[in-house]
């Protein structure tokens, strides 16, 4: 089987862009239904399991749903170790 070369080589790097995690400071789920903290942790676990290694993780949108300082602390507690693992 002959391999056909693409017009452009595959990139050797990529960025992980995450948007709108809407973390809450307390233990309650977002809108009473969504565990945004667990979803963010799961996302990082899946990226790690995939073997993908982003050069940077970029967040946009609403990081904290209500701007609670505890939500930002929670975000940092999730993101820093996850990025170190990646």
**What global pTM score does this model have?**
0.81
Query: Could you report the per-residue pLDDT of 30-43, keeping only the tens digit for each?
Result: 888 989 999 999 99
Angle at the Cα of 53 from the Cα atoms of 49 and 56, rounded to 5 degrees: 130
- As beta bridge partners, residue 16 has 57
DSSP type of residue 12? S
DSSP letters, 25-84, are SSSSPBTTTB-HHHHHHHHHHHHHHHT---SEEEEES-SBSS--HHHHHHHHHHHHHHHH
Query: Could you report the per-residue pLDDT of 4-20, keeping only the tens digit for each?
Result: 677 877 777 889 999 99
Are 59 and 18 within 8 A, CB to CB?
A: yes
């Amino acid at each position: 089987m002959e391999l056909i070369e693409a017009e452009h080589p595959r990139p050797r790097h990529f960025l992980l862009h995450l948007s709108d995690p809407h973390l809450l400071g307390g233990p309650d789920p977002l809108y009473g239904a969504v565990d945004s903290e667990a979803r963010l942790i799961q996302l990082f676990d899946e990226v790690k399991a995939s073997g993908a290694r982003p050069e940077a993780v970029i967040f946009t949108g609403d990081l904290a749903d209500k701007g609670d300082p505890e939500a930002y602390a929670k975000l940092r507690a999730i993101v820093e170790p996850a990025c170190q693992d990646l």
